[in-house]
Structure 1
Amino acid sequence: MSDHDGVDPTSLPLFAPGTASLNAAARFAAPPSIGFTPAPPVPLAASDRAGAGRVDWALLAELRGAAAKRLSTALEDHGRLSAMEQREMGRTIIQELLTDESQERAVSGRDAWSMPDREAMAQALDNALFGLGRLQPLIDDDTVENIQIAGADRVAVERTNGHLEDVDPVADDDEELIDFLVFLASRSEVNARPFSEAQPRLHMRLDGGARLAASAWVTRRPSVVIRRHRLREVALADLVERGSFTPVVASFLAAAIRAKKSIVVAGEQGAGKTTLVRALCSELDPDEAIGTFETEYELHLDELPRTRHRFVYAWEARPGSGEVGADGRQAGEITLSDLLYDSFRFNLSRQIVGEVRGGEIVAMVKAMQSGAGSISTTHARNAQSVMSKLVTCALEAGESREWAVSALSESLDIIVQASMRDVIDDDGQKRRVRWVSEILAVSPGEDWSRPATTTIFSTIPGTQTLVPGVMPDDLREELIPFGFDADAYYAAAGEAS
């Protein structure tokens, strides 16, 4: 049994009054005697989602404790159960407790629960025992794309239509929010993450695939961003339909993937880089064996239908903990470079290294040097600054500038810049729009210290219109056999001039 198999249900999180003064260790301690596996969250009842049901959080704290104790006893009696069996048992206990509470209300002459209120209490109890507490309704809401938290009472969401909206607090105070994050980081059975004053940064994947980034102790208030990727099974044609780029651009990108060109997708935070990578991967032959290498699972190519990708091996780096060894690494640390090294025995057609923020640059270059055509993402304000950003990452990883420039010039073929901006609709609502704003070709320059770049597509200033620039002859001839519509490219160039 793993270190995280024995989680005491009485310790599971509930954003409820009266618990914030307890520290995370006391609130979320886990004795090893009970096998407990959190199950995937279930959708909210319609009444709660619509706001008709009210939750008494103080009462919920009492009922949660009683439900957890009963569930602990039941699990001891029944032995190890599946996640679904545990959740069904928990729901039965929740209904028993709510029935008891309803009877006590009747005897004492208190107001009876309405059905929406009872449903809301039942769902909130279920979330407290098995899910993400007050965060769960936001995670379950299909219209929520991203969640931003700057303190327990400063919470906003970005909807799938691009609108930004403030929502209710997710905890009663910052201490309670921090305690929950500590628990959340430690409860994973396969890849627990440290989060404490000694390690105040947290990056992890939540059940269902959302990505969480959090900071505390080094920020004035606990800060959290949860990124949800609603567009998983997405193709280049879907992004054309959404207005991200034109069919001519889609023709170029599809041909580049099929021709095994190595691509870096760059952009600001939240510009849609990961969605674009998924769309690019849709152009891969379904029979290609793909390896993905990420610090936190985010691409989820392995979870798509086999008709899209038949063989996907998904690797995730593991942070170390404890003392640093003689090699300068913490015990248990597994880096992307370690994983990439192992992957060369897996007969892969493609090695895709996810987000590059620093040391991941070494794994990215190795994947691109394999010659199979890799894809990665990084953060940069424009396409021209991508090379400088990647060189900086290499320097942070302990590599020399000479190595970085030479390796990137020889292995990186194309830079795709994703951009976003906020616009105000006619009704006064703010909406976020995303599009591909620039595409560059990269090649070794005459001066070894500076690679050569050619602007293949650029955006007309003040618009989201991407127009052709200059197409290198050798690149054009390479891509035409793979479906690049050169005639449409030059026709569009003529219209733009």
Structure 2
Amino acid sequence: MADTHQRPGPAALNPQQLASLLSGHLGQHAAPSPAPPAQAPAKAVAADPGAVPRLAGLPGELPVGWEVIEALQGEVSKALSAEDPDKHLEEADRRALARTLVTSKVAEWATKHAHGNVPLTAEQERAIGTAVFDSMFRGGRLQSLLDEPGVEDVMVDGLRAHVEYHDRPRRTIEKVADSHDELITWVNRMARLSGHGERALTQATPMVGFRMPDGSRVTASLLTSRPSVVIRRHRIRQHGIAELVRWGSINPVLERFLTACVHARMNILVVGDMGAGKTSLLRALGREIPPAERLVTLESDRELYLDEPGPKPGPVTFAFEARQSNGEVRAGDRAGEVSIADMFSTALRYNATRVIVGEVRSTEIVPMLNAMSSGGSGSMCTLHVRRPHAIISRLVQLCTESGMQTEAAHHLIASSIDVVVYLTYLDETAIGGKKHRFVSSIHEVHDVVGEGGRPVTTELFAPQGGEPRAVYKNMPSFIGDLERTGLLRRQWLTDNPYGAWQEPLQTVGAR
């Protein structure tokens, strides 16, 4: 298979470049930067009730109360409807018009406000204008939290918010809404802005999930002791596999191995615990699929974004997203609900050369494995697994819960999956360190051995000699297929395997 990504194939690498590769310094990959100095955990910040929208000094601090923002939002919305009553404008043009109207209305309000008050600065007017626009098209009064650098998750428990960062400890904000009803109103407004008007948080539908306009994933519930909302940010939706090398999630040899697996059309299962970076790795591998192919992605909530332009040309991609029920139950089924398993039959009619499932959680495991084993070579998915030794057991569990016999599940797994990539998540922020996400092992799945047996697996890469990250251990049986892609030579795996990691993992214990 030709290398469509213009990577240097084996013949193009001179001895110096090869040595550089095996020592972990492949030309285009810069070494990861040293770990930042440890930061002391931040204390919870109490916000004065009169300054709720200020969010206790976070970016986007406002010089006025939120009622002013809501009043200006109403004026702008009315003016926008007058300018474009039939909504003929494209969304980008409509937003541009809204920004112009926001600037005008804020300026008018500021002029009136200056009578008897300290005049606002230009920066304060811009902050008010941004808040008005955010309340109309973005995350409203939570947008300043979402815009903070390094934010991964915003977890709202009642009126209190906990903010998780990828590079520093959690921060707590004591009050981000005036009432629980206001928080519920925010959830439903965000659902409408995202085009998911059927996903309303009510007593009839006490759990909802949707994607915000910026791509953030929102999950909200009324089944907790207080209304709760979790917002998952996608900081790296446009990045590819080269960024994973730079961040230390994989090394250059693993990058070549995994990219060769994609080009050799190996069926890949990406597994790990929650927050380990499974979706990020799956997205990066999906961006390595040659542009001449056709791809279908199936997700409960859109996170892969492989149908959007990436760092290089990709395949023709059809991105399917499941749909939640509208809350009604008819003949035992939830009206309007469309699951990943429901979408499989339609998706396969698109004649895709590969199928990617964002995350396998339930009955979709059987159609996914069937697609892999019956012509969908090169397909991929993720699965939540806490420990590497539990991978096969977890797959069997899902298959049997879907009605399969255990022996049939063993044979289906063995005939479907070629490679399992396990990611480890190590969070040391509580002890002054940082979060680490890295590939710690890669397994090859073989046929079932013996009557009633399980699929046999071989560790190709595993932690060794005090190195917690993946180090070469055994040669894959399909190494010939990988070499034919022109992206890998077997000696790159065996020569100086520990040197592939460019420096020791910067854990607190290693300092």
- Check whether TM > 0.5: yes
Of 54, 58, 68, 1:59 maps to 68
Is contact 1:164-1:430 (8 Å) kept? Answer: no
Look up the match of 2:140: 133
Q: How does 1:161-200 map to 2 (within 5 A)?
A: 161=167, 164-166=170-172, 169-189=175-195, 192-200=198-206
Of 117, 123, 132, 1:116 maps to 123
- In structure 2, C-alpha distance between the alignment counterparts of 1:167 and 1:190, rounded to whole Å: 28
Q: How does 1:143-158 map to 2 (within 5 A)?
A: 143-158=150-165
- In structure 1, C-alpha distance between the alignment counterparts of 2:164 and 2:72, rounded to whole Å: 29
- In structure 2, C-alpha distance between the alignment counterparts of 1:471 and 1:290, rounded to whole Å: 29
Amino acid at match of 1:94: V
Of 444, 448, 452, 2:447 maps to 444
1:321 aligned counterpart, secondary structure: coil
**1:207 and 2:210 are equivalent in the alignment:** no
Is contact 1:365-1:411 (8 Å) kept? Answer: yes
Is contact 1:459-1:467 (8 Å) kept? Answer: yes
Question: What is the CA distance between 1:250 and its match in structure 2?
Answer: 2.2
Is contact 1:71-1:90 (8 Å) kept? Answer: yes
- In structure 2, C-alpha distance between the alignment counterparts of 1:432 and 1:457, rounded to whole Å: 22
Bigger relative contact order, structure 1 or 2, given CA contacts below 8 A and separation 6+? 2
CA RMSD across the alignment? 3.1
Post-superposition Cα deviations, 1:80-110, rounded to whole Å, max 9, x if no partner, equal: 4333443344344434443443343344x22
Question: What is the CA distance between 1:353 and its match in structure 2?
Answer: 1.4
**1:380 and 2:388 are equivalent in the alignment:** no
- In structure 2, C-alpha distance between the alignment counterparts of 1:226 and 1:350, rounded to whole Å: 30
Is contact 1:53-1:116 (8 Å) kept? Answer: no
Report how many residues are paired: 444
Is contact 2:218-2:229 (8 Å) kept? Answer: yes
Post-superposition Cα deviations, 1:112-131, rounded to whole Å, max 9, x if no partner, equal: 22222222111111112222
Is contact 1:265-1:378 (8 Å) kept? Answer: yes
Amino acid at match of 1:184: M
Look up the match of 2:320: 315
Where do 5+ consecutive residues of structure 1 fail to align?
A: 1-16, 21-47
Look up the match of 2:409: 404
Is contact 2:290-2:315 (8 Å) kept? Answer: no
Look up the match of 1:43: none
Q: Which moved more, 1:313-322 or 1:463-472?
A: 463-472
Look up the match of 2:112: 104
Post-superposition Cα deviations, 1:378-427, rounded to whole Å, max 9, x if no partner, equal: 111122212222222234434443433221122111111111112359xx
- In structure 2, C-alpha distance between the alignment counterparts of 1:400 and 1:324, rounded to whole Å: 30
**TM-score, normalisation: structure 2:** 0.77
- In structure 2, C-alpha distance between the alignment counterparts of 1:492 and 1:69, rounded to whole Å: 67
Amino acid at match of 1:282: R
**1:485 and 2:493 are equivalent in the alignment:** no
Post-superposition Cα deviations, 1:272-318, rounded to whole Å, max 9, x if no partner, equal: 11111122223321211111111111111110249421411111122
Q: How does 1:28-107 map to 2 (within 5 A)?
A: 54-76=63-85, 80-107=88-115
1:111 aligned counterpart, secondary structure: coil
2:296 aligned counterpart, secondary structure: strand
Q: 1:162 to 1:312 in 2, by over 3 A?
A: farther
- In structure 1, C-alpha distance between the alignment counterparts of 2:135 and 2:343, rounded to whole Å: 36
Is contact 2:151-2:163 (8 Å) kept? Answer: no
- In structure 1, C-alpha distance between the alignment counterparts of 2:488 and 2:146, rounded to whole Å: 40
- In structure 2, C-alpha distance between the alignment counterparts of 1:494 and 1:137, rounded to whole Å: 43
Q: 1:98 to 1:254 in 2, by over 3 A?
A: closer
Of 217, 231, 235, 2:236 maps to 231
- In structure 1, C-alpha distance between the alignment counterparts of 2:127 and 2:499, rounded to whole Å: 58
Q: Which moved more, 1:132-141 or 1:88-97?
A: 88-97
**1:218 and 2:223 are equivalent in the alignment:** yes
Look up the match of 1:3: none
- In structure 1, C-alpha distance between the alignment counterparts of 2:187 and 2:387, rounded to whole Å: 34
Q: How does 1:395-434 map to 2 (within 5 A)?
A: 395-423=400-428, 429-434=432-437
Look up the match of 1:299: 304
Q: 1:320 to 1:468 in 2, by over 3 A?
A: same
Look up the match of 2:337: 333
Question: What is the CA distance between 1:56 and its match in structure 2?
Answer: 2.3
- In structure 1, C-alpha distance between the alignment counterparts of 2:351 and 2:184, rounded to whole Å: 43
Amino acid at match of 1:197: Q
Amino acid at match of 1:368: M
Q: Which moved more, 1:80-89 or 1:268-277?
A: 80-89
Q: 1:191 to 1:394 in 2, by over 3 A?
A: farther
Q: 1:277 to 1:435 in 2, by over 3 A?
A: same
- In structure 2, C-alpha distance between the alignment counterparts of 1:495 and 1:238, rounded to whole Å: 19
Look up the match of 2:366: 362
1:354 aligned counterpart, secondary structure: strand
- In structure 2, C-alpha distance between the alignment counterparts of 1:321 and 1:464, rounded to whole Å: 46
Look up the match of 1:42: none
- In structure 1, C-alpha distance between the alignment counterparts of 2:77 and 2:242, rounded to whole Å: 49
Is contact 2:154-2:161 (8 Å) kept? Answer: no
- In structure 2, C-alpha distance between the alignment counterparts of 1:273 and 1:63, rounded to whole Å: 42
**TM-score, normalisation: structure 1:** 0.80
Q: Which moved more, 1:405-414 or 1:192-201?
A: 192-201
Q: 1:480 to 1:106 in 2, by over 3 A?
A: closer
Question: What is the CA distance between 1:439 and its match in structure 2?
Answer: 0.9
Where do 5+ consecutive residues of structure 2 fail to align?
A: 1-48, 501-511
Look up the match of 1:345: 349
Look up the match of 1:23: none
Amino acid at match of 2:478: L
Question: What is the CA distance between 1:246 and its match in structure 2?
Answer: 2.5
Look up the match of 2:268: 263
Look up the match of 2:251: 246
- In structure 1, C-alpha distance between the alignment counterparts of 2:196 and 2:136, rounded to whole Å: 20
- In structure 1, C-alpha distance between the alignment counterparts of 2:423 and 2:280, rounded to whole Å: 10
Q: 1:56 to 1:399 in 2, by over 3 A?
A: same
- In structure 1, C-alpha distance between the alignment counterparts of 2:169 and 2:355, rounded to whole Å: 35
- In structure 2, C-alpha distance between the alignment counterparts of 1:406 and 1:400, rounded to whole Å: 10
1:301 aligned counterpart, secondary structure: coil
Q: Which moved more, 1:130-139 or 1:232-241?
A: 232-241
Q: 1:217 to 1:335 in 2, by over 3 A?
A: closer
- In structure 1, C-alpha distance between the alignment counterparts of 2:153 and 2:425, rounded to whole Å: 15
- In structure 2, C-alpha distance between the alignment counterparts of 1:61 and 1:365, rounded to whole Å: 50
Is contact 1:153-1:173 (8 Å) kept? Answer: no
- In structure 1, C-alpha distance between the alignment counterparts of 2:84 and 2:244, rounded to whole Å: 48
